[in-house]
Amino acid sequence: MDLSYTAEETAFRGEVRAFLKARLPYEIAEKVRRHVELSKADMERWHAILNENGWLAASWPKAYGGAEWTAVQVHIFDEEAAMAYAPRIVPFGIHMLGPVLIKFGTEQQKAEILPRILSGADWWCQGYSEPGAGSDLASLKTRAVREGDHYIVNGQKTWTTLGQHANRIFCLVRTSTDGKPQQGISFLLVDLDTPGIEMRPIRLIEGGHEVNEVFFTDVQVPCSNLVGEENQGWTIAKYLLTHERTNIAGVGHSNQALEQLKALAKTQRRNGQRLIDNPLFAARLAQIEIDLEAMKITNLRMLADAQKNGAPGPESSILKIKGTVIRQAINDLARRALGPAAAPFPSEDLDPNLTIAPRDHTNTAADYFNNRKISIYGGSNEIQKNILSKTVLEL
């Protein structure tokens, strides 16, 4: 047993830290610190800065412009980036489509699309879920019917995150109704400016516009936009799911959020006492801290396994479940820490000179509500438990 990082890994951490210090724009970090929504330009700017350094696509092979980092390096970067209040990388192109194309794409697709992901020329969004197909994704109904050298697509996708910024969408579509539902699904790339596509915003619980629904009416998509074989979409989606699973625990972000919460608890005063000196509050804080320390090690153990075996196993569902629960517990406690000051609606109507909650915490309650999503998307925690009980416990 040796819990220390290697000399190279420690040196890498130093390099990451220095880079973040030098290159992460202050205005962007401030927004992240204050949980203010990032603009499209902010996200593109950060991507460009990373890309300039060759760090945007951390786990892609070097041949495709990636950094080819090990899982541990990716982890170190995520941890440091979170602590520095760097924005998260928009996952759809970098973490989702990129790995899929590298594994299943044609040479032409790779040559055309991967550089555009890196340069920011394309913003991709993910079109998997449908109103009737959430947890049961394989029941999806959006049809793609082949006519000559085109597919004609009809149907509806929903929950499309940041679709409002996107120019392209990768979709799971039904190309066959024979056999098991999983066997008739294909992975299709669609330009969002194709006639017949309409995108509508969905407003979330806290008021933000982050997701959309996308309607397809007789949309013509060239057959060359198919990734992999026709009806191979489910295999691709499953491959992607395992890829999504490294760093699924969000340990870096929890760590940063916990530090922020501790700082808050030291400045918040309640009835003549600092909040952190209140035994009930301090106990809650300490419990989360214990859970998070354990999670960090659980995460590293699974990372080490993944590094050894090539891919994370089904045990990584543990990371998703516990990681999201811890994240949400921190959001919960931060909200409580503010007391009544958590209540004002963080809207434009609110006088910015009116300090009620401390400056970095005007969005804390909104953030708490918004983050209820993390135990729902990416495979809900119930679905993760089903996976664990079936595949790991063999129940």
**Active site positions, annotated:** 244
CB-nearer residue toward ligand FAD: 10 or 389: 389
Q: Could you say whether residue 375 binds other proteins (CB under 8 A)?
A: yes
Q: Could you say whether residue 345 binds other proteins (CB under 8 A)?
A: yes
Q: Could you say whether residue 340 binds other proteins (CB under 8 A)?
A: yes
Residues 52-81 that bind ligand FAD (CB under 6 A): none
Q: 3-state DSSP call for residue 323?
A: helix
In the complex, the smallest distance separating the C-beta of residue 336 from other proteins, rounded to whole angstroms, is: 6
CB-based closest residue to ligand FAD: 134
* 96 in Cβ contact with 117 (< 8 Å): no
Among 271, 308, 309, 395, binds other proteins (CB under 8 A): 271
Q: Are strands 168-174 and 124-127 parallel, antiparallel or unpaired?
A: parallel
Q: Could you say whether residue 280 binds other proteins (CB under 8 A)?
A: yes
Q: Could you say whether residue 278 binds other proteins (CB under 8 A)?
A: yes
Q: Could you say whether residue 91 binds ligand FAD (CB under 6 A)?
A: no
Backbone angles phi, psi at 146, to 5 degrees: -75, 130
Alpha-carbon distance of 364 to 351, in angstroms, equals 17
Q: Which of these ranges, 25-33, 34-42, 60-68, 329-337, lies near other proteins under the rule CB under 8 A?
A: 329-337
Residues 211-270 that bind other proteins (CB under 8 A): 269-270
Q: Could you say whether residue 156 binds ligand FAD (CB under 6 A)?
A: no
Q: Could you say whether residue 202 binds other proteins (CB under 8 A)?
A: yes
Q: Could you say whether residue 135 binds other proteins (CB under 8 A)?
A: yes
* 153 in Cβ contact with 221 (< 8 Å): yes
**What residues pair up with 269 in beta bridges, in sequence order?**
274
Among 291, 356, 360, 378, binds other proteins (CB under 8 A): 356
Residue-by-residue DSSP string for 126-164: EE--BTTBSSSGGG---EEEEETTEEEEEEEE---TTGG
Partner interacting with residue 161 (select from other proteins, ligand FAD, none; CB below 5-8 Å by kind): ligand FAD
CA angle, residues 367, 79, 51, in degrees to nearest 5: 95
Q: Could you say whether residue 348 binds other proteins (CB under 8 A)?
A: no
Partner interacting with residue 359 (select from other proteins, ligand FAD, none; CB below 5-8 Å by kind): none
Q: Could you say whether residue 141 binds other proteins (CB under 8 A)?
A: no
Cα 289 from chain centroid (whole Å) = 23
Q: Could you say whether residue 92 binds other proteins (CB under 8 A)?
A: no
Residue 257 CB-half CA count within 13 A? 25
Q: Could you say whether residue 128 binds ligand FAD (CB under 6 A)?
A: yes
Q: Could you say whether residue 129 binds ligand FAD (CB under 6 A)?
A: yes
159: left (phi over 0), alpha (psi -120 to 50) or beta: left
Question: What tokens were used for 99?
Answer: 């790995």
Residues 158-197 that bind ligand FAD (CB under 6 A): 159-161
Among 126, 186, 363, 364, binds ligand FAD (CB under 6 A): 126
Q: Could you say whether residue 156 binds other proteins (CB under 8 A)?
A: no
**What residues pair up with 168 in beta bridges, in sequence order?**
124, 191
* 270 in Cβ contact with 225 (< 8 Å): no
Alpha-carbon distance of 346 to 201, in angstroms, equals 20
Question: What tokens were used for 131?
Answer: 């109103």
Shortest CA distance to 218 belongs to which of 196, 234, 246?
196
CA distances from 378 to 45, 126, 286, 373, 374 (A): 26, 11, 29, 9, 8
Q: What residues make contact with ligand FAD under the rule CB under 6 A? A: 126-129, 134-135, 159-161, 211, 373, 376-377, 380, 382-383, 386
Q: What residues make contact with other proteins under the rule CB under 8 A? A: 129, 132, 134-136, 139, 158-159, 202-207, 269-272, 278, 280-281, 284, 328, 332, 335-336, 338-347, 349-351, 354, 356, 365-366, 368-369, 372-373, 375-377, 380-382, 385-386
